[in-house]
Homo-oligomer: A and B are copies of this chain.
Amino acid sequence: MPDSLPPDSVGLVEPQTLHFDEPLTLACGQTLPHYDLVVETYGDLNADRSNAVLICHALSGHHHAAGYHSLEERKPGWWDSCIGPGKPIDTNRFFVVSLNNLGGCHGSTGPISTNPDTGHCYGPDFPVVTVKDWVDSQAKLADRLGIKQWAAVVGGSLGGMQALQWSLSYPERLRHAVVIASTPRLTAQNIAFNEVARKAITSDPEFYDGRYAEHNATPRRGLMLARMVGHITYLSDASMGEKFGRELREEAYKFGYDAEFQVESYLRYQGERFSETFDANTYLLMTRALDYFDPAYDYDNDLAAAMSQARCEFLVLSFSTDWRFTPTRSEELVNAMIAARRKVSYAEIDAPWGHDAFLIPTPRYEDIFTAYMDRVAREVQQ
C-alpha cells in the first residue's frame, strides 16, 4: 500500500459504466440488443475534443490501465508505467480512455453478464466477438464521448491488433495508431498454443460445456493450465533463465513431482491466482479473437492492399526477444504499410523480457514512445 500516491501517477480513478441501447451486430451474425462498457478516463478532454487517446487492452486486460482505485490498492493499473503525467502517454496533454472490451469479465457485457433472453448469465451463449466487433463498439463509445477523431489509438499485443483494425475500419477517425508487440495475424504455432489453452478449459470436467455457473462450478484446473502455458509464451527463455535458472526450492532433488524448481512454483502460483479471478468463457473468447484477426483475409491475403485503406500514421514497435509475436511479424506489417505508402515509424527494441516487454519500461522504449506521442500532442490544440 503506498503511503501517498506517486507524483507521476494519475492518482485515484473511478471506473464508470456506460450503457448502450442501440443493438450491435457482430461479425458472427448475432446481435447484442444492448450492452455495457466499463471505462476509465485520465486527463482532460480539450475544447475541440482533439486530444483523446484510446487504450486497447490485451488478452487478460481490462479498463484499469493507470492510477489506483483506492489508497489501499497495492498495484496501479496494468499500464501505469506508460500512462500518467510526464509519461509516454502524458495525461497533462491527453485525455486517455481505457475500456474493458465486450466479452470481458471486468464489468463490460460478457459471458458473466445476464442474458436478457433468459434472465441467467450468458455463459457459452455469449457470441464470439472479433477485433472488428470490438472496434465497432469502441466507435460507439467514441460517439458517446463526443470524440469524432482519436489523436491516437494505442495498444500492445491483442491491443495492437485493435489499433490496427481502427485504421482500417474507421480510417478517418484516428490520426495515429500505435501498434506494439503485435502481429497482423497469428501463426499456426500461436493458434496451437491458444488451442492447448482452450482444450485445457473445455476438457475440465468442471466446465460443463461453459455452463459452470449454473452448476456452481469453476473450471479452475483448466484456467490454471491455460494461464501457465500462456505465461511461458509471454516470457523469453533468457528472462526465465535469469529469473529462475534451475534454482531449487530446497537444497537437493526430492525425486518426486511436487514443485522442486522455483520456476515450477512460480508458474503454479500464477496459474492458480489467475484461475480465481478470470472467467473461463471470456478466456476462450479472447483467444478466438486473436485467432480470427487477419486483416489481409478480406484482400486475398494481400496485407498491403488491406493497409491501403488506412489514412492515419503509424508507430510500430517490437521487442528483440518476443518469440510470441516476433519482430519479423512487425516487419511484415511495416513492409505492407510501406508498400501501401502509409507513413510509419518502426523500431525493434532490444529487451530481454520476451512478449511482456511491452509492459516493462526501458529507456529506449520510453524514449521512442515518448518522442512519438510528443509529436502527436504537438498536432493538438492544447
Which B residues lie within 8 Å of A186 (CB)? 246
Smallest beta-carbon distance A111→chain B, Å: 12
Smallest beta-carbon distance A34→chain B, Å: 21
- B240→A187 contact, CB < 8 A: yes
Question: Which A residues lie at the B interface, using CB under 8 A?
Answer: 27-29, 127-128, 185-189, 191-193, 195-196, 198-200, 202-205, 221, 224-225, 228-229, 232, 235, 237, 240-241, 243-246, 253, 255-257, 259-261, 263-264, 267-268, 271, 284, 288, 291-292, 294, 323
Which B residues lie within 8 Å of A255 (CB)? 27-29, 127-128, 288
Q: Is the interface of A mostly helix, strand, loop or mixed?
A: helix
- A232→B267 contact, CB < 8 A: no
Look across to chain B and name the residue whose beta carbon is closest to the beta carbon of A263. Answer: B188
- A191→B28 contact, CB < 8 A: no
Q: In whole angstroms, what is the CA distance A128 to B268 when docked?
A: 21
- B257→A192 contact, CB < 8 A: no
- A188→B243 contact, CB < 8 A: yes
- A192→B264 contact, CB < 8 A: yes
Smallest beta-carbon distance A340→chain B, Å: 21
Closest 6 CB pairs of A and B: A28-B255, A188-B240, A128-B255, A189-B237, A203-B221, A188-B244
Which B residues lie within 8 Å of A200 (CB)? 200, 225
Given A27-B255, A199-B228, also A191-B291 (CB < 8 A) = no
Which B residues lie within 8 Å of A228 (CB)? 192, 195-196, 199
- A193→B232 contact, CB < 8 A: yes
A203's contact among B191, B224, B241, B267, by CB below 8 Å, is which? B224
Which B residues lie within 8 Å of A27 (CB)? 253, 255
**A–B Cβ pairs within 8 angstroms, 25 of them:** A27-B255, A28-B253, A128-B256, A186-B246, A187-B237, A188-B245, A188-B263, A189-B240, A191-B246, A192-B232, A192-B240, A192-B263, A192-B264, A192-B267, A195-B228, A195-B259, A196-B229, A196-B267, A199-B224, A199-B225, A203-B221, A203-B224, A203-B225, A204-B221, A205-B205
